[in-house]
Structure 1
Amino acid sequence: MPKNKKPEELDLISRVSSYCATWDLLQKNTTIIIGLSGGPDSVFLLHVLSQLKTEYSLTLVAVHLDHGWRENSAADIDFCKSYATRYDVLFEHAHARDITITKKSSGSLEEQGRLLRRTFFEQVAQKYASPHNPTAIALAHHHDDQIETFFIRLLRGAGVTGLAGIRPQYKNHHKNYIRPLLCCTKEEILTFLHAQALSYLEDPTNKDPRFLRNRIRSTIIPALRTCDTRFDASLERTMAHLQEADEFIQTTTHKTLEKVSIVQKNSQRQLLLPAFAELHPFLQKQILLAWLIESGFPFTVSSGLLDELIRFLLISKNKKHLLYHSWSIIKQNSCATLEGEGAEKANGQKRSGSTTTRNS
């Protein structure tokens, strides 16, 4: 740690350390995969985890994916590699054209990029994982990202789970994502980097008004802060209430799924339709979502799709409903079975964590 560090900078690192301890984000002897874009947030994340490396006996791997969206993107690789060398951590990089995503999405370019990065990060995590060497993927989301994400999801009609926000940790089927910086604001991060003379890359798209996140950042949030100086604290309380409600929903969903389904010898879970029909419509949707994700369904699940499936399961006389590609739901003997490539394998593996992918 630099000797000329000011008390306020020490406080910021201490705050992140305390946040990690509170949420149990860092385990000793873990390999941490750090998503390093070269931007201020990821540079700060690398710096902080480097300070905590000895305390937790961590192995750090800085990971950079070149999307090829800009002409000088190759220079970003060199920039990130120089930081890995500076902090004496391992470095992995790849080009997006060499990454194949297994989860399908018809979303925006931004969403496609997110899926590509996640896929690459998980590949690197798998490379370094072993029975005695767990891995975690550290992402640099901060407090401002949390607020912006809330409004993005609100405008898109998200439910409780989506509005509950970004979680400090997300675990699902051997994947462990952590976000140590949710306790920091963007302004605090920038102030820290400037004080420590730590350079970073500027992404010109962050000010492009064509992107919804940027419009929210530059117009909606400043306006709300002008209306009420307590805006941040009030929204934080609201999201805490939503997170508590979501935890109850997820717990209830998993318990109910066990009651309205059976697991076959091939590990496939079948829904028992008479019992499923007795549930409240809201819980029916939660059960369907949990069932699809547990079964390895590789597509984004929309509320419209859930409504469509409930009509098929409870009203339609058809015995088969084609979803996407090779995936379909079969009704037989008052049971419903999900069929598709990888469904049996996915069902045979124990999954934990949230029943939705929206907060990952």
Structure 2
Amino acid sequence: MAASPTPRPKPAEPPGNPAAAALAGLDLPLPLAVAYSGGADSTVLLLAAVQRWPGQVQAIHIHHGLQDAADAFAQHCRQVCAALGVPLQVKRVQAGHAMGESPEDAARQARYPALARAARDAGLQAVLLGQHADDQVETLLLALSRGAGLPGLAGMPPVFQRDGVLFVRPLLAVGARVIREWVGQHGVAVVEDPTNADIAFTRNRIRHLVLPTLEEAFPHYRETFGRSTRHAAQAQELLETVAVEDLARMGGVPGITALQQMHRARQGNVLRHWLRTAHAANASAAQLEELLDQVADCKTRGHQIRIKVGNGFVERVLDRLSFVQ
């Protein structure tokens, strides 16, 4: 009888992986997946996760098909995962962007549902994401450039649920330079997305033109900006709590008389919450101001309200507001 083949030893991980400390204190449902693009950030995360939870880690690669190198990225991921003994799913998505939408936003909208589906298909409850401290700063600066409110200024949450799957960003306190220096020092194989150097994209302009200047003026900007996003997230969490309580007192649907008894800012808070959570609609600042003005002017039974918000309209029905499409 032929002897069983000797298992191929997995390559040893170089010491000092900057993701290792970030994973050390995490208690997550196992097995789990790493969203693996093949780039430096997701590579250090995958290597650290394999060391932290041996035999409990899988990888998911999202093939966006947006550039000629996409097939090569997927092949690189297959080779790395085969060497590590890590199961890999490669999922193709359609990430074409609509008019007025950036390619990055379109890819992001396609990516997370695909990751969640792949995780559920494999019986996994958690997915690790490789965004780091520089990504968080870029997100904050983008939000500021667009005049965002607290939800935007809160940046990327370290933990969130989507489609029944737990997503975790353990590297938000780790800088990009630390990751790239470790990858370079140890000769770790990674792919480089050629679009990352294209400053036609707003995020790349921030990365290549703004962040170096910030670092020169404020060497600790990653830590201080990160602290600001956490403060904004805490404030937004408090506002959400207030909105939930206010809406519950109205029976789950905004009442005009009840709204008129609130301060204007509190009215806006509960209406934003109602539109987003009950109808997946996000009112612009102008739309919300118009809606608040109409609520304030609603003094008679005959006063009608019909304001475009998202893909529908907010209308008055008796003493209540209704959202119709």
Counterparts in 2 of 1:300 and 1:329: CA distance versus 1, 3 Å: closer
Q: 1:222 aligns with which of 179, 192, 212?
A: 212
What per-residue deviation string (whole Å, max 9, x for no partner) do you get for residues 260-293 of structure 1?
x31xxxxxx4222211222233332322222123
Higher Rg: 2
Question: Residues 312 and 148 of structure 1: is their aligned pair in 2 closer, same or farther, counting only changes over 3 Å?
Answer: same
**Among 222, 239, 242, which residue is 1:249 paired with?**
239
Match of 1:165 in 2: 155
* Aligned equivalent of 2:289: 307
Q: TM-score, normalised by structure 2?
A: 0.83
Does the 8 Å CA contact 2:304/2:315 hold for their aligned counterparts?
A: no
Q: Which residue of 1 aligns with 2:73?
A: 76
> Cα distance, 1:144 vs. partner?
0.8
1:52-201 aligned within 5 A: 52-54=52-54, 58=56, 60-97=57-94, 106-129=100-123, 135-171=125-161, 174-201=164-191
Look up the match of 1:335.
320
Go from structure 1 to structure 2 and tell me whether the alpha carbon gap of 1:137 and 1:274 turns closer, same or farther (over 3 Å shift): farther
* 8 Å Cα contact 1:137-1:178 kept in structure 2: yes
Q: 1:324 to 1:4 in 2, by over 3 A?
A: closer
Quote the residue 2:23 is aligned against: 17
**Among 274, 282, 304, the residue aligned to 1:318:** 304
Give the drift of 1:242.
2.5
> 1 or 2 for the larger relative contact order (CA 8 Å, sep ≥6)?
1
CA RMSD of aligned residues (A): 2.9
Q: Deviations over 1:279-320 (max 9, x none)?
A: 2333323222221232242x5543334334434555473355
Which sections of structure 2, spanning at least 5 residues, go unmatched? Answer: 1-9
The answer to whether the 8 A contact 2:63-2:91 is kept is yes
1:144-200 Cα deviation digits (max 9, x unpaired): 111111111111111122112222111356342210111211111112223333211
Residue 51 (structure 2) aligns with: 51
**Closer/same/farther in 2, CA of residues 4 and 112 from structure 1, 3 Å limit:** closer
Counterpart residue number, 1:356: none
Give the conservation status (yes or no) of the 8 Å contact 1:38–1:79: yes
Is the 1:135–1:176 Cα contact (8 Å) retained in structure 2? yes
Q: What is the match of residue 42 of structure 2?
A: 42
Corresponding residue for residue 288 of structure 1: 271
Deviation of residue 120 (structure 1)? 1.0
How far residue 36 of structure 1 moved from its aligned partner, in angstroms, is 1.6
Q: 1:345 aligns to what?
A: none
Structure 1: how far apart are the matches of 2:13 and 2:192? 26
Return the alpha-carbon distance in structure 2 between the equivalents of residues 175 and 283 of structure 1: 32
SS of match in other structure, 1:270:
coil
Q: TM-score, normalised by structure 1?
A: 0.76
* Partner amino acid, structure 2, of 1:15: A
- CA–CA separation in structure 2 for the residues paired with 1:274 and 1:106: 38
Query: What is the rounded CA distance, in whole Å, between the counterparts of 1:296 and 1:174 in structure 2?
Result: 19
2: distance between equivalents of 1:328 and 1:290? 16
Give the secondary structure class of the aligned counterpart of 1:257: helix
- In structure 2, what is the equivalent of residue 27 of structure 1? 28
Q: Distance in 1 between matches of 2:161 and 2:210?
A: 32
Structure 1: runs of 5 or more not aligned:
263-268, 341-360
